[in-house]
Amino acid sequence: MLHEYPQRRRCCCRNSTSRCTPPTTKMTQSSSTEFAKKQQHEATTAVTTKMPPNHAASIDVLLNNFQFKKKSYRVLLNGQHFVWERLKQTQSGKKQHKAAPQEPTGQSQSGAQTKETESDQLSNGSSTLCYGPDSHVLHLDDIINVRKGDTKQATLKPPSTPMSSEDENNELSTSVALKPTAQYLTINYAERLLKSATDCNRWQVRRLTLYNSDPYIVDQWYRQLKERLYCSAGRLRVRRLLVFINPYGGRKAGLQTYERHCKPLFQLAGIDVTCITTQRANQIRDILLSHDLSVYDAVCCIGGDGTVAEVINGLIFRTMRELGLDEQRPAYIPKPMMPVGIIPAGSTDTIAYSMHGTADVRTAAIHVLLGQRRGLDVSSVRNSQTLLRFCASILSYGYLGDVAAKSEQYRWMGAKRYEYTGVKAFINNRGYEAELRFLLDEDGSEQQEQPERCESPQSPSAQSLQRALSVCSVGNTSVCYANCQRCSFAASLQDQPSVLFGSTGGETDDDEEERPNLPYDGSTEQPAATPRLSTGDAALLPPQRPRTLNLQGAQSLTSSLNFGSPTSTTAQWKSIKGNFFMICGANITCACSRSPNGISRYSHLGDGYLDLILVRKTSLLNNVRFLLNTAGRDGDIRNLPFVEVYRTRKFNFRTLTAAITSPDEGFSINGSCQPITEPSDANSTQLNEFSSWNCDGEVVTDLDITMSSHCQLIDVFMRGPHSYNKPRKSGAGPSTVSGTATTPASSNDNVYCCCKD
Ligand SMILES: Nc1ncnc2c1ncn2[C@@H]1O[C@H](COP(=O)(O)OP(=O)(O)OP(=O)(O)O)[C@@H](O)[C@H]1O
């Protein structure tokens, strides 16, 4: 049976109107009631209407009965939701169903609070769909692929060669001409595992094979699903993927990881994969810099943090070359167009863990298949002379720098090398004298973090916007999860044509005055005049930021997010000198299985800020307290009196003795991503008073370092981690489509717990 409803104006997705495919359906209260009545009337038969195949494109709602494992199911396709529910035999012999969306009543959603929510939604102009308590609701974003066939087996076989979009169009148009024969429809989809209370971030692939004796109905469903699957905004269904496998990282199991876990998933999704197994360090970067990538939709790496860093550095430097920018002193940092998939196969895998909330390989691969992307902040690291490299996770001096410098020679120990060298570096740490200068907010306030929690709003209404503003303003202590409002807001600022896509350098004028030896300011912004660029290139430049935002209260938010003008004279610096056990600039939480909250628990994946963590040199006991607080879920280093955490967009580091040391004396690797060289023995005694920098696990030995965060510089396949509240199981209560809790209104929302710690 086909029902057509007026097109809805607003997307039912909680946070993003761009995620749904327009047009979707609007189920008004009256139409919903009418709809439910019609379904009552026609419940006993699997009612279908044969329509000309080309009519499918105009259908908003499909509702049919299918067989699944020899049981009858009522299946509904409504907008972005695929719903199925088993038909139950009643005493009168009639089959009952609840899969059809019904008017939400007190019976289906108990309690006055629910009714209040409904009236709120109606008054807000949003519609509410309610499915029965036993309905399975699947968002189309979570569907990996759809196949049809004459037999069940035929639908399970992956295509012999991956299909291009033209092939699929041909296939669809051919099926218009030929009489359909397929009676089986198989849907492969991804689902987050709900079993574990402590690990709710793992995903698995599931399969649903439906049977209907009428091939026209199967064909119609197939076509509808295909169409809706491939035109969802904000999502890239990858067809051609370039995969780099590091066989050397972690337990040296990169190749096996790919063969065992990733390859079957890529085949299932019909992705055309080109695999390159690395032969040496920095090969990925060299390939990305020199080869034609136009045939690929995305790049994926299988390895640890060092491998991810190679990919990110390769893509950014490639983009800089393409735009004719000076790689050592670029006028701004451009955003690469190619999204990146990150599959963990290293020793710590902090980047993958921070993104997904787990280091599970299949979960990471599933996110590549599903194609949902989020922008990830990347920081540039430079010395006084030149841009050195880009950092995706953490830049760390002192304790972690020593660990990185010493652990490489113990690689044969695997991940244990970090523990071994960690203990040695811990005992030998006598503190490092340094001076830190970091950028304050434009209003001159410093954002020192206090441990507190905040909730994020759940719907994109005006109220939500207000709440979003407040979330962003206290966002320095909010935790970044899926649907993070702070990151979404940063992304929405980037979407506006007159807003910069990267965070600002912000220090320009006053910084140049104070520090004349910093010729490159590390800004992501285009200076007023860039004679080097042609008109065509200039079109690719990030646009100028507006002075004010046309949003109520946005002024305070802009100030909070600090998308400051490059010529702002209000940018201020704060300076701190001291003896430090460790100094870190953290882009992301840097969580890993040993430290599930990460060393920088409140860092956000894409807000354009980094957390500057200063750990003062105190007693050995305090150092132990610090390490204990970084491990486990309960600790928080911000509670320690000798730890200071500042949220900033940029900081500069100098050893107190570096001022008298020339950069030509061998401390600098003089350029980004150069092969890492250990300091020579002759220098090592001289260097005892210095540590090295640990940049994404690689060693950088410069002693005058500036780290600047660039907001959402690279797109990665991720949704963000989910909090560890145990999610409600499907069927435990009514599923609604209204943006309230327990609502998979979008696949992102299939989290039950977003933005809440
Ligand atoms: N075939 C290879 N032979 C030697 N080194 C390689 C090879 N391929 C990549 N590399 C280098 O290996 C280094 C370590 O890899 P990676 O960081 O991925 O693993 P890891 O250090 O074990 O994991 P993590 O960084 O998560 O702790 C990287 O710097 C990379 O450049």
- Reported as type and span, the H/E element at residue 311 is helix 305-322
Report CA torsion sign: 19, 24, 28, 33. negative
Q: Is 481 in the pocket of ligand 1 (CB under 6 A)?
A: no
Final residue in a domain of this structure, among 183, 207, 235:
235
If asked whether residues 132 and 267 sit together in one domain, one would say no
Measured by CA distance, the residue closest to atom 28 of ligand 1 is 306
State yes or no: pLDDT of 638 exceeds 60: yes
Instruction: Average the pLDDT over each of 5-14, 371-380, 688-697, 718-727 and give the range with the smallest value.
Output: 5-14
Higher pLDDT: 68 or 656? It is 68
257 lines ligand 1 (CB under 6 A): no
230, 250: one domain = no
Cβ atoms within 10 Å, residue 690: 21
Shared domain for 169 and 305, answered yes or no, is no
Reduced to 3 states (helix: H, G, I; strand: E, B; else coil), residue 657 is: coil
Cis peptide before 215 (omega within 30 of 0): no
The candidate with the shortest Cα–Cα distance to 542, out of 477, 505, 497, 585, is: 497
CA–CA–CA angle 68, 69, 75 (5° rounding): 15
Higher pLDDT, 722 or 604: 604
Question: For residue 673, what pLDDT band results from cuts at 50, 70 and 90?
Answer: very low
Q: Which atom of ligand 1 is nearest to the CA of 351?
A: 26
Kindly give the distance from the C-alpha atom of residue 281 to the centroid of ligand 1, in angstroms, as a whole number: 7
Task: Tell me, yes or no, whether 143 and 250 share the same domain.
Answer: no
CA distances from 128 to 8, 38, 101, 466 (A): 12, 19, 9, 22
What's the CA gap between 603 and 612, in Å, rounded? Answer: 10
Q: What is the CA radius of gyration of the chain?
A: 27
Tell me which range, 19-28, 434-443, 604-613, is most confidently predicted by mean pLDDT.
Answer: 604-613
Q: Which helix (DSSP H) or strand (DSSP E) does residue 694 occupy? A: strand 693-695
Asked whether residue 16 carries a pLDDT value surpassing 90, the answer given is no
Q: Answer yes or no: is pLDDT of 334 > 90.
A: yes
Among 181, 203, 235, the domain boundary falls at: 235
Residue 561 lies in a domain: yes
Quick one: pLDDT at residue 159?
A: 62
Range among 87-101, 322-336, 518-532 rated most confident: 322-336
Distance CA 34, CA 65 (A): 19
- Residue 128: per-residue pLDDT: 52
Question: How many structural domains does the chain have?
Answer: 2
One-character DSSP codes across 510-565: HHHHH-TT------SSPPS--TTS-HHHHHTSPPPPPSS-SSTTHHHHHHHHT---
What pLDDT does residue 462 have? 42
pLDDT at residue 125 is higher than 60: no
The torsion defined by the Cα of 269, 273, 279 and 282, in degrees rounded to 10, comes to -90
CA of residue 303 to ligand 1 center, whole Å: 7
- Residue at 735 is within a domain: no
248 C-alpha to ligand 1 centroid (Å): 6
Same domain, 454 and 470: yes
Task: Please tell me whether residues 231 and 268 are part of one structural domain.
Answer: no
Domain assignment present for residue 500? The answer is yes
Nearest C-alpha to atom 5 of ligand 1 is from which residue? 281
Q: Please report where in the chains the tokens 């327009």 appear, as a residue.
A: 22
Q: How confident is residue 323, by pLDDT bands cut at 50, 70 and 90?
A: very high
200 in the same domain as 56 = yes
Q: Is the CB of 280 under 6 A from ligand 1?
A: yes
Q: Is residue 753 part of a domain?
A: no
Q: Which of 29-43, 53-67, 198-212, 217-231 has the lowest mean pLDDT?
A: 29-43
Segment holding 402, helix H or strand E? helix 399-407
On whether both 56 and 147 belong to a single domain, the answer is yes
Crossing angle of helices 399-407 and 416-428, rounded to 10°: 130
pLDDT of 194: 74
Q: Check residue 177 and give its pLDDT.
A: 58
Count of CB atoms within 10 A of residue 469's CB? 20
Strands 71-78 and 136-139, how do they pair?
Answer: unpaired
Sign of the alpha-carbon dihedral angle for 411, 364, 315, 499: negative
Task: Provide long-range contacts, Cβ within 8 A and 24+ apart, for 294-298.
Answer: 295/240, 296/240, 296/241, 296/242, 296/338, 297/236, 297/238, 297/239, 297/240, 297/241, 297/338, 297/339, 298/236, 298/238, 298/241, 298/242, 298/338, 298/339, 298/340, 298/341, 298/368, 298/717
Q: Are residues 209 and 246 in the same domain?
A: no
Query: Does 142 contact ligand 1 (Cβ within 6 A)?
Result: no
pLDDT tens-place string over residues 243-269:
999 999 888 999 999 999 999 999 999
Q: List the CATH number of the domain containing 397.
A: 2.60.200.40
Q: What number is the average pLDDT over the span 588-596?
A: 91
CATH number, domain with residue 51? 2.30.29.30
- Among the residue ranges 30-44, 214-228, 343-357, 540-554, the one predicted with the least confidence is 540-554
- Residue 373: give the domain boundaries: 240-717
| Residues 174 and 258 occupy one common structural domain | no
Nearest residue CA, atom 2 of ligand 1? Answer: 280
Rounded Cα distance between 269 and 159, Å, is 9
Please list the residues that pair with 65 across neighbouring strands: 74
Q: pLDDT for 199-214, tens place per residue?
A: 789 999 999 999 999 9
387 Cα: distance to centroid of ligand 1 (angstroms): 22
pLDDT of residue 603: 94
The model's confidence at residue 412, banded by pLDDT at 50, 70 and 90, is: confident
Neighbours of 290 (CB within 10 A): 11
Q: Are residues 152 and 300 in the same domain?
A: no
Among 201, 219, 235, identify where a domain stops. Answer: 235
The whole-number average pLDDT for the span 712-736 is: 71
Q: How far is the CA of 396 from the centre of ligand 1 (A)?
A: 18
The token duo for 239 is: 């067809």
Asked whether residue 745 is domain-assigned, the answer is no
Q: In ligand 1, which atom is closest to the CA atom of 349?
A: 26
Burial (CB count <10 Å: 0-12, 13-18, 19+), residue 50: exposed
Kindly state the DSSP code that residue 635 receives in the 8-state scheme.
Answer: -
Percent with pLDDT over 70 in the chain: 59
**The pLDDT value given to residue 413:** 81
299 and 330 co-located in one domain: yes
Q: Which two tokens stand for residue 420?
A: 């071994």
For ligand 1, atom 11, name the residue with the nearest CA.
Answer: 281
Q: How far is the CA of 332 from the centre of ligand 1 (A)?
A: 29
Pick from 246, 278, 393, 676 the residue to mutate for probing ligand 1's pocket: most ligand atoms within 8 Å of its CB.
246
Whole-number Cα distances in Å, 757 to 146, 482, 754: 36, 12, 8
Residue nearest to atom 4 of ligand 1 (CA): 280
Q: Whose CA is nearest to atom 3 of ligand 1?
A: 280
347 ligand 1 Cβ < 6 A: yes
- Contact, 283 vs 323, CB < 8 A? no
What is the Å distance from ligand 1's center to 5 Cα?
55
**159: how many CB neighbours lie within 10 A of its CB?**
12
Is the minimum distance from the CB of 377 to ligand 1 under 6 angstroms?
Answer: no
Give residue 320's pLDDT band: very low, low, confident or very high (50, 70, 90): very high
Who has greater pLDDT, 162 or 491?
491
- Asked whether residue 746 is assigned to any structural domain, the reply reads no
pLDDT tens digits, 528-585: 333 333 333 333 333 333 333 332 333 333 333 333 333 345 668 999 999 999 999 9
Residue 123: half-sphere exposure toward Cβ, Cα within 13 Å: 8
Say if 432 falls within a structural domain: yes
More confident residue, 178 or 528: 178
Q: Please state the rounded mean pLDDT for residues 301-318.
A: 96
Q: Calculate how far, in angstroms, residue 310's C-alpha sits from the geometric centre of ligand 1.
A: 9
> d(Cα 140, Cα 103) in Å, to the nearest integer?
22
Atom of ligand 1 at shortest distance to CA of 247?
1
pLDDT digits (tens, 9 = 90+) for 211-225: 999 999 999 999 989
pLDDT, average across residues 585-601 = 92
In a domain, 14, yes or no: yes
- SS3 category, 742: coil
